[in-house]
């Protein structure tokens, strides 16, 4: 059995091994009583980050491992389509509802939105399907 003490205060690592912060809060659904997500404290001067349990790969002795990099940490990264065309840089991430979000991309003063489902690859650059 895992308790809140087993999760609170653990480092949270993305798939590349980068430490995003530490688990500071647990979020539960009332009926049925299940853990739905955690809040990650990213440190002084950085906003808290909510991670849904669908993005948690495993919880180890000293860390929580994520199955994907949170979209909130993609701000400022360049975005390309599959043909290699530069689309702009991630300006912001907009939450559409509890499960869905979109990247706000800006290039030369113009903004556009790309929904999360169109992201093909996330890393130092982001590749999206535009078709």
Domains and CATH numbers, the chain: 4-69 (2.30.30.240), 72-128 (2.30.30.240)
The per-residue DSSP string of 22-68 comes to EEEEEEEETTTTEEEEEEEE--TTS--EEEEGGGEEEE-SSEEEESS
Interacting residues of 114 by C-beta distance below 8 A, sequence separation 6+? 79, 87, 102, 103, 105, 128
Q: How many residues does the chain have?
A: 131
Q: How confident is the model at residue 123 (pLDDT cuts 50, 70, 90)?
A: confident
Residue 98 predicted with pLDDT over 60: no
Q: What is the pLDDT of residues 6-15, one digit of tens each?
A: 889 999 998 8
Q: What is the pLDDT of residues 52-95, one digit of tens each?
A: 888 889 988 889 999 887 766 777 889 999 899 999 998 887 76
Residue 114 predicted with pLDDT over 60: yes
Q: How confident is the model at residue 96 (pLDDT cuts 50, 70, 90)?
A: low
């Amino acid at each position: 059995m895992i308790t809140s003490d087993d999760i609170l205060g653990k480092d949270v690592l993305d798939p590349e091994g980068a430490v995003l912060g530490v688990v500071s809060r647990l979020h539960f659904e009332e009926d049925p009583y299940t853990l739905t997500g955690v809040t990650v404290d990213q440190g002084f001067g950085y906003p808290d980050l909510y991670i849904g349990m669908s993005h948690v790969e495993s919880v180890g002795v000293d860390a929580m491992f994520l199955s994907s990099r949170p979209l909130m940490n993609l701000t400022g990264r360049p975005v390309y389509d599959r043909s290699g065309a530069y689309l702009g840089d991630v300006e912001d991430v907009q939450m559409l509802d509890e499960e869905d979000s979109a990247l706000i991309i800006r290039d030369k003063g113009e903004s556009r939105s790309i929904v999360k489902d169109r992201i093909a690859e996330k890393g130092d650059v982001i590749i999206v399907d535009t078709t």
